[in-house]
Homo-oligomer: A and B are copies of this chain.
Amino acid sequence: MGELEVKGKLAKEASRFLALASTKQKNAALAEMKNGLIAHYETILSANEKDLANAKQNGIADTMLDRLRLTEERIHDMANGIMQVAELPDPIGQVDNMFQNEAGLTIGKKRVPLGVIGIIYESRPNVTADAAALCFKTGNAVILRGGSEAIHSNTALVAVLQQGIELAGFPKTSIQLVEDTSRETARDLMRLNTYLDVLIPRGGARLIQTVLDTATVPVIETGTGNCHVYIDQDADFEMATRILVNAKTSRPSVCNACETLLIHETVASELLPVIEKALAPFHVELRADDKARSFLTNSVPATEEDFATEFLDFILAIKVVASEDEAIAHINRYGTGHSEAIVTNNYFTGLKFQNEVDAAAVYINASTRFTDGFEFGFGAEIGISTQKLHARGPMGLHELTSTKYIIFGEGQIR
């Protein structure tokens, strides 16, 4: 049996234990996880040093190094994050829609854990503690597969988390890390149907695509966001500019940032220069179609590919459209089904956009940047689903659960 088979089997066993644990027991273990992180932060930092040294040796970019780096403060943030999860209401055990059927059976839909969750993610080691806490709170065993760059950090983190849950009486196999970070093992994890109930990839477009192409385990696709802001002919100019600037520049590296501006032709000549000026302090590169370029002083021509690209950078594609229908068609063609926004004062235009755009979150007169589990009030987020099955949009604790019909009979037969 390979590493994965062994881990899968142990995770399945742990999941049976976890499914029966009370909220009180789980919260006690989360508190031990937090205590462990704080008590052992030096061990974690020295493991992280090894990863950083290797990364530097491999000539990894500074932005990547920053994502990989842990500090005492970041470890405290992780610990606080775990406590926030502990404080959230536990969805497990809730029974929805209990009713009596025609045969007199009492039938309830009880919320239960998914079972064993696999998480494949990239360099940021904070995902390790975060994902472990969310899966644990919802009674799921988790198998984590982080990037090879972070292997020492992740190993140290998981050891500390395991120690914490063991102190609270849980099997340490409730949280496991795949130590072999080869691509072959990642591929095998994606096909570990016997043990995994779901696989959640967290990372860039390439990782998501590999998982979609390879996985036979059910997947929740997350995070690719080619988001648009459409400025309608009836938009308030000041509001439109404010929303566009916020959606593009407040944090361009995240999936809910705006990548393309669509603007109605009747307002393009007046508004585009204003927008260009507002974006100037952020040094946003403008890649625009011919019509838009005629109203801009500093832009490059947009290619077909630009409209299909999630830049995650200070780059904005711009297209002038002749109608709302054209804007909607463009979004439904190039968008990734994440977050889309219209700015308009017109009631019907706003509703039409919201009805016809096919995405997880459709905004009227607000920034796409709000698509987030915390902003939506879930108190947590495991990712943002861009698929339609199981979960769509920001995923909190609820989205890490399944249901089971519990049926109380008195001898009924059919």
Contact = CB atoms under 8 A, between A and B. Distances in A.
Given A362-B405, A406-B362, A369 B219 contact: no
A198 B388 contact: yes
Contacts of A354: 406
A335 interface: no
Interface stretch (A82-90, A169-177, A238-246): A238-246
A413 B359 contact: no
A314 interface: no
A414 B371 CA distance: 10
Interface size class, chain A: 35 or more
A365 B409 CA distance: 5
A389 B405 CA distance: 14
A370 to B, nearest CB: 6
Interface stretch (A102-110, A142-150, A181-189, A274-282): A102-110
Interface centre among A107, A243, A365, A366 (most CB of B within 10 A): A366
Contacts of A250: 413-414
Contact of A387 (B218, B364, B376, B406): B218
Interface stretch (A36-44, A48-56, A65-73, A209-217): A209-217
Q: How many copies of this chain are found per oligomer?
A: 2
Contacts of A107: 376
Nearest to A369: B414
A339 to B, nearest CB: 9
Interface in A376-405: 376-377, 387-390, 392-393, 402-405
Nearest to A116: B388
Given A212-B193, A389-B218, A364 B408 contact: yes
Contacts of A224: none
A334 to B, nearest CB: 13
Contacts of A219: 218
A295 interface: no
Contacts of A64: none
Contacts of A414: 246, 250, 367, 369-370, 375
B404 A369 contact: no
Nearest to A402: B388
A102 B375 CA distance: 7
Contacts of A114: 388-389
Given A332-B16, A366-B407, A115 B389 contact: no
A98 interface: no
Given A103-B370, A388-B115, A389-B114, A411 B362 contact: no
B20 A377 contact: no
Interface in A317-334: 332
Contact of A216 (B102, B215, B356, B392): B215
A20 B362 contact: no
Contacts of A360: 404-405
Interface centre among A105, A213, A404 (most CB of B within 10 A): A404
A317 to B, nearest CB: 20
A246 B216 contact: no
23 contacts: A16-B356, A16-B358, A19-B355, A20-B355, A101-B376, A107-B376, A114-B389, A213-B216, A215-B216, A218-B387, A246-B414, A247-B413, A362-B404, A362-B407, A364-B407, A364-B408, A364-B409, A366-B407, A367-B409, A375-B414, A389-B390, A390-B390, A393-B404
Given A250-B414, A359-B404, A366-B407, 4 more contacts: A20-B356, A101-B376, A366-B408, A369-B413
